[in-house]
């Protein structure tokens, strides 16, 4: 009995010693940049970068498996610090925030029927194409709000609204919206066309009081800044400067251009 105890104890001690020696001599030191990069990460752990969390992204950046622009949450100052730590050029793309391309509130775009199912946009859309009078508008059942990890999306008057100043730009709401109404746009205040209907003006007017009629007045007022995304739908080209936003807003007969 005692001999067995001695043998087991001796074996354990020998294995422990071997493990200690292996840890000492075979240890690969971690890149010191990992800790610094981890300190620059926002800590949101939203997964929008494609990695498990901020710590994993910091490791991937140090190993060259990710670009400094991988994190959509970083502000310009931190993105520049990440680029400096990695010894690469900083990208001046700027912060982006979610934008709901719809102005069809309950008052502007009513309901075709009473939906009494699950309070989920995808579920509502599966019932006769959704209860909203506009077949392309926000259904307002909060699927995007529940997907938001920082709770900056609210539902007001049947319409999803984003607090763009607090949006971290993770893009989870973009993926969650079944009607693909949410897109990422530069976070700075700018004029945007809040409509996604590609239909002719007469059809849009019947469905919503705040829809794009395809009249092209905004394009004529601010050429280049506003373009036609399709034959009957205008869009703001945020890559081009806009100096006369007030004039474009005032001339829009569909009341769908807003500064956000």
Q: Let me know whether 193 and 208 are in one domain.
A: yes
Q: Domains in the chain: how many in total?
A: 3
Same domain as 148, residue 230: no
- For residue 251, the domain's CATH number is 3.30.70
Residue 4 lies in a domain: no
183 and 114 in a common domain: yes
Share of the chain above pLDDT 90, in %: 54
Q: Which of 182, 128, 133, 138 is nearest to 158 (CA)?
A: 138
Largest interatomic CA distance in the chain: 97
Report residue 116 CA to chain centroid gap.
29
In a domain, 1, yes or no: no
12-63 per-position pLDDT tens digit: 666 666 666 655 655 556 678 888 888 888 887 888 888 888 989 888 888 8
Q: According to the model, what pLDDT value does residue 72 have? A: 81
Do 174 and 107 fall within a single domain?
yes
Specify if 7 maps to a domain: no
Give me the pLDDT at residue 256, please.
96
Residue 126 and residue 50 share a domain: no
What residues of the chain score a pLDDT lower than 50? none
Structural domain contains residue 9: no
Of 150, 169, 187, the residue at which a domain comes to its end is 187
Shared domain check, 119 and 108: yes
Terminal Cα-to-Cα distance of the chain (whole angstroms)? 80
- Tell whether 59 is covered by a domain: yes
Same structural domain, 43 and 110: no
Give me the pLDDT at residue 62, please: 87
Question: For residue 58, is it within any domain?
Answer: yes
The per-residue pLDDT for 233 is 96
Q: Does 157 fall in a domain?
A: yes
What is the pLDDT, as a whole number, of residue 14? 66
Whether residues 232 and 206 share a domain: the answer is yes
Could you list the residue range(s) of the whole structural domain that residue 122 is in? 96-187
Residue 122: predicted pLDDT: 95
Instruction: Please indicate, yes or no, whether residues 78 and 153 belong to a single structural domain of this protein.
Output: no
Q: Are residues 179 and 102 in the same domain?
A: yes
* C-alpha dihedral sign at 196, 202, 207, 208: positive
**Which among 4, 72, 78 has a CA at the least distance from the CA of 36?**
78
H/E element, 67: none
Q: What residues contact 213, with CB distance under 8 A and at least 6 apart?
A: 201, 204, 205, 232, 253, 254
Cβ neighbourhood burial of 10 (10 Å; 0-12, 13-18, 19+)? exposed
Instruction: Give the domain-ending residue among 187, 211, 246.
Output: 187
With pLDDT > 70 as the criterion, what percentage of the chain qualifies? 87
What pTM was estimated for this model as a whole? Answer: 0.74
pLDDT of residue 97: 92
Residues 6+ positions from 78 with CB-CB distance below 8 Å: 40, 42
3-class DSSP assignment, residue 104: coil
Q: What's the CATH code of the domain at 124?
A: 3.30.70.20
Joined together, the tokens standing for residue 48 give: 């929008």
User: Would you say residue 227 lies in a domain?
Assistant: yes
């Amino acid at each position: 009995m005692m001999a067995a105890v001695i043998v087991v104890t001796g074996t354990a001690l020998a294995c422990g010693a071997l493990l200690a020696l292996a840890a000492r001599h075979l240890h690969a030191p971690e890149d010191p940049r990992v800790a610094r990069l981890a300190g620059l990460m926002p800590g949101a752990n939203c997964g929008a970068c494609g990695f498990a969390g901020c710590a994993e992204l910091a490791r991937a950046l140090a190993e060259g498996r990710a670009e400094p622009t991988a994190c959509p949450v970083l502000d310009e100052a931190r993105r520049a610090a990440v680029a400096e730590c990695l010894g690469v050029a900083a990208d001046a793309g700027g912060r982006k925030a979610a934008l709901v391309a719809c102005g069809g509130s309950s008052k502007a775009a009513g309901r075709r029927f009473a939906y009494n199912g699950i309070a989920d946009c995808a579920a509502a859309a599966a019932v006769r194409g959704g209860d909203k009078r506009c077949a392309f508008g926000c259904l307002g059942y909060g699927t995007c709000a529940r997907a938001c990890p920082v709770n900056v999306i609210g539902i007001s008057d049947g319409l999803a609204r984003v607090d763009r100043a607090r949006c971290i730009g993770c893009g989870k709401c973009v993926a969650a919206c079944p009607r693909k109404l949410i897109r990422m746009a530069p976070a700075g205040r700018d004029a945007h066309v809040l409509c996604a209907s590609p239909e002719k003006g007469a059809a849009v007017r019947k469905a919503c009081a705040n829809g794009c009629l395809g009249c092209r007045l905004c394009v004529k007022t601010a050429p280049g800044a506003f373009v036609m995304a399709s034959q009957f739908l205008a869009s703001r080209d945020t890559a081009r400067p806009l100096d006369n936003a007030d004039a474009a807003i005032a001339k829009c007969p569909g009341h769908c251009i807003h500064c956000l």
